[in-house]
Structure 1
Amino acid sequence: MNRRSFGALLGLALSGCAAVGPNYALPDRAAVNRPSAQGAFASGGEKGFVDAPLPDHWWQLYGDARLDGYITEALGANTDLRVADANLRRADAVVAEVAAGRMISTGISGGTSVSRPYTTGGSLPGVVGYDLGIALAYPLDLSGRIARAIEAARGDAEAVEAARDNVRVTVAAETARSYAAACTANMVLAANNRVLALQRQTLDVTQRLQRGGRGTAFDVTRAQTAVDQSEALIPAAIATRTAALYRLATLMGRAPADYPHEVEACTTPPAMTRPLPIGDGAALIRRRPDVRAAERTLAAATARIGVATANLYPQVSLGGSAGFTGPVSAFGSGNAFHMALGPLITWSFPNRPVVRAQIAQAGAAADAALASFDSTTLEALRQTETALSAYAREADRNAALARSQASAATAADQAARLYKFGRTDFLSLLTAQASLTTAQANLAASDALLIDRQVDVFKALGGGWQQ
């Protein structure tokens, strides 16, 4: 042992449970410490948002008791969450296993043997002997190797817990999205049916005018084409609703056929009547489970540097053993008893270059974990900014489409009146009704997309994992 290693080991012994390797602290250069990451969102000033804390159960902002019940059921029965919970239990068991390394270890051994000198006649059985013993060992952990290993295992377990929480975020958001998708599909169906009813009225009027000599077969054919085109939109909306219902059932841990049948008739999707509370970047970083998981992974990687560094020093434990050894004929005699007590030392001193390489590997892994932590943080901010911007722009688009639909409805009504009294041609009526069809379809699609964008915002903000 060189003088430096001996001095380090002596210092460890005098300090009790000091641990080698770096003590974990969030690096100053981490992306989470940048002022731009901690401040207000770039899109947070839009009229649809308010700088207020996001509620833990954000879906309750919709005031929809049915939605609350579905999400509660999904968070209790979702299969992905069951997997995540099992992974967390496994990680906790690993921590318990590593922590057991601090406890006294015991071992019991026993065996028998037959020995015979080679000069003895071949027919003799020889001497039957036995060996019974018990051994105890208590690790002193002077270098803190076990302490660092426990620290690393706890970091891993906390990262797994954060991953489980991230699954909860996804399950809550996708349940809300599926429920809203089923309701908005019905809303689109209702809009299509309204347009279809109007076009069928036009077809009926056109057929009566043809019979009265004021219309042509060409007018009837064009009116029938408009009806057929609107009818062709209905199956796609029904398929969308069915897919959303099946997705909702799966998220709730049910078979697809066991979807909530009451949603099949839902025509009013959940509506947000207030600005969305979004908080700021600092709150987002604290709340996002994936950011927390990456930070805990960094902490575990830092602890593993200490585990590798501890291999530079001897591993010392206090041990003792006792037992009986001798021929079976003298079993239990005082002469057969043996006992040993003293420190047990293991040291890989000849392999120091190997240990140095292991320390370098652990350091590189910690650097990679920091880079991953930064990447996760920046990605969380990007996702949130993108979701906020997309929602704000869709809200603007939705307002414009609402105005367009109102104008198209007025124009279609005016064209129908003019055509009825022979003051405009049939093509103008069809054009006005086609514009109304397009405007209503666009508005219904935007209404559905707007709710989808709201869910994107809440999912990006990382809410909904809290128990």
Structure 2
Amino acid sequence: MGGKVGSLMLALSLAACATAGPDYHYPDTSVATAPAATGDFHSAQGAQFSNAPLPDQWWRLYADPQLDALIGEALAANADLRQAQANVERAQAVLREAEAGREITTAISGGETLSRPSGVTQHLPGSVSYDLGLSAAYPLDLNGRIRRAIEASAADVEAVTAARDYVRVSVAAATAQAYAQVCAANYNLTVNRKVVALQRQTLDATRRLAKGGRGTAFDVSRAQAAVETSEAALPAFEAQRQNGLYLLATLLGRPPADYPRAVETCAALPTLRRPIPVGNGAALIRRRPDIREAERAIAGDTARLGVAMAQLYPQVSIGGSVGLSGPLEDFGSGSAFGFSLGPLISWTFPNRPVIRARIAQADAQVRSDLAGFDASVLEALRQTESALESYRRDAERAAALDRARESAGVSASQAAKLFRFGRGDFLSLLDAQRSLASAEVTAASARAQLVQDQIALFLALGGGWGSGDGVDDGAGDAQ
């Protein structure tokens, strides 16, 4: 009988020797490997772009020490980033727990018993016996259940790390956008105040002409209305600047009232000194942390499929125990000592219908992850192409508005001269100045939007989560 039991255990062990479940391989049939996904970007056309690799610390392309310092502080103190880092550390602890599953487990037991025969009428002393033992077991993991669990936890660590890296990307971009918002608000304030100053000069001249009999009260009221209309735009830019400062404080891990005062006077828009390096689709797919997170989710759930499949087989371990037991008066004698050593097998019955259902769940999850991976790749490519297209078209628009502003300036200057020498009417002058004011404000807004487009493109490209910078001193102006 003992030989049959041993043969059965050997057969079960051999049946479970192969690691359960499929080995993970990168999804080479996904959209991430398609030529259209890995080649050059369709919208990266023009002198604003280059095919050079995107530097990690892309914000250094602006050569703005204040921006560099703000992003450095945000990456060190941002609350969302600290939370993401804690999630990474938790996942690492879960991995250590899974790795501990293949270590030897031990147990110590002990006890004593006082016994007395029943039915004895006299008060007689009983006998005391004891039982002390130490047992140990080592899992053989013949079916790879523990190995697959460790693989799953390791993939989870990498996925959570990628999620942390995506938060880092977002924090860097949000800090740059908030900084640009403050600078753009001040820039727009400067432009609008120049417009107001010009309109005030016209108002003063109109009043003088009215007093001299060359103008009317109607001319004065129209000039006054133009000044007040331009002044009405100033509070909105002041609110935009203050809100940007509050956002910066939050990103830096500070209360809003503790915003960085040095940024408050920033008046120049961040300017690139070179074309934007965008690389290609293959580099984007490798770099974007959200794509890496989606790919690691497939690896983790593929390993969990193996864990579920391993439940179809028995769990085998080698165990042993040593102990002392017997009457207390024989404590320590050779007859009280005992030990055992041998394989231990456990297999829960009935379990196959439940386990088959778990396997089906795990398999469906892997297929869902594969679809999610493709969705992440497609969304990343779409975001990047859209950001490239928006920036390219907005750059064309900004250039056209700059030309329109220059033309409006010439027209307003000519109208002012004609009016001063009595060869032009006041309405023509007012219309010319109104056109100049609109052109100045619109061109300034377009330039500010262009900076936001640049940062949105850097965010779509997924830079900013590594440790190197890779910035060279290339010349050129992307704007």
Contact 2:16 2:313 in 1 (8 A): no
Offset, 1:46: 3.0
Aligned to 2:415: 415
For residue 51 of structure 1, what is the aligned residue in structure 2?
Answer: 51
- Larger mean Cα displacement after TM superposition, 278-287 or 104-113: 104-113
Structure 2 unaligned residues grouped into runs of 5+: 468-479
State the 1:63 CA deviation.
1.3
What corresponds to 2:477 in structure 1? none
Paired residue secondary structure (2:457): helix
Report the AA paired with residue 253 of structure 2. Answer: G
Whole-angstrom distance in 2 between the partners of 1:124 and 1:385: 95
Answering whether residue 432 of structure 2 is matched by residue 428 of structure 1, we say: no
- Given the two structures, how large is their TM-score scaled by the length of structure 2? 0.92
Structure 2 partner of 1:267 = 267
- Note closer, same or farther for the CA distance 1:424–1:115 as it changes in structure 2 (3 Å cut): farther
**Residue of structure 2 aligned with 1:10, choices 14, 30, 33:** 14
Between 1:418-427 and 1:312-321, the stretch displaced more is 418-427
The answer to whether the 8 A contact 1:41-1:281 is kept is: yes
- Contact residue 312 and residue 348 of structure 1 kept, 8 A: no
Distance 1:228 1:60 in 2: 41
Partner Cα distance (1:30, 1:241) in 2: 45
1:348 matched to which residue of 2? 348
**Letter of the structure 1 residue corresponding to residue 183 of structure 2:** C
Which residue number corresponds to residue 474 of structure 2?
Answer: none
Q: What residue ranges of structure 1 are gaps of 5+ in the alignment?
A: none
Does the Cα contact within 8 Å between 2:13 and 2:316 map onto a contact in 1?
no
Say which is worse superposed, 320-329 or 68-77, in terms of deviation.
320-329
Q: Could you tell which deviates more after superposition, 118-127 or 30-39?
A: 118-127
What SS does structure 1 have at the residue aligned with 2:311? helix
Moved more, 64-73 or 275-284: 64-73
Using a 3 Å threshold, how does the CA distance of structure 1 residues 353 and 208 change in structure 2: closer, same or farther?
A: same
CA contact (8 A) 2:111 2:130 kept: yes
Corresponding residue pairs, total: 462
Match of 1:322 in 2: 322
The 3 A distance-change label for structure 1 pair 341 and 431 is same
Equivalents in 2 of 1:51, 1:188: separation in Å? 33
CA–CA separation in structure 1 for the residues paired with 2:8 and 2:363: 22
Is 1:37 aligned to residue 37 of structure 2?
A: yes
1:177-215: CA deviations, max 9, x gaps? 111111111110000010000011111111111111222
Counterpart code for 1:450: L
Which residue is equivalent to 2:382? 382
Alpha-carbon RMSD: 2.1
For 1:120 and 1:429, how far apart are their aligned partners in 2?
A: 128
Relative distance call for 1:120 and 1:254 in structure 2 (3 A) is same
Name 1:289's counterpart in structure 2: 289
Q: Which residue of 2 aligns with 1:193?
A: 193
State how far apart, in whole Å, the 1-side matches of 2:215 and 2:446 are: 37
Question: Offset at 1:338?
Answer: 3.1
For residue 339 of structure 1, give the secondary structure of its aligned residue in structure 2.
strand
Alignment of 1:24-423 (within 5 A): 24-121=24-121, 127-423=127-423
C-alpha contact 2:104 2:136 (8 A) present in aligned 1: yes
CA–CA separation in structure 2 for the residues paired with 1:177 and 1:232: 25
Q: Deviations over 1:134-163 (max 9, x none)?
A: 110101111111111000000000000111
Change (3 A) 1:419 1:8: farther
Q: Which amino acid aligns with 1:263?
A: V
Tell me, yes or no, if structure 1 residue 442 matches structure 2 residue 442: yes
Deviation at 1:413, TM superposition (A): 1.4
How far has the Cα of 1:119 moved from its partner? 3.0
**C-alpha distance in 2, partners of 1:438/1:126?**
108
Q: Contact 1:308/1:362 (CA < 8 Å) preserved in 2?
A: yes
Contact 1:311 1:348 in 2 (8 A): no
Is residue 401–residue 443 contact of structure 1 (8 Å, CA) maintained in 2? yes
Amino acid in structure 1 at the alignment position of 2:426: F
1:212 aligned partner, one-letter code: G
What amino acid is the match of 1:58? W
2:195–2:230: 8 Å Cα contact kept in structure 1? Answer: yes
State the alpha-carbon separation in 2 of the partners of residues 30 and 122 from structure 1: 87
User: Would the alpha carbon gap of residues 5 and 334 (structure 1) be closer, same or farther in structure 2, given more than 3 Å must change?
Assistant: closer
| CA distance in 1: counterparts of 2:49 and 2:10, whole angstroms | 63
Q: Distance in 2 between matches of 1:289 and 1:120?
A: 80
Q: Distance in 2 between matches of 1:433 and 1:243?
A: 31
Contact 2:209 2:215 in 1 (8 A): yes
Q: 1:64 Cα shift?
A: 1.3
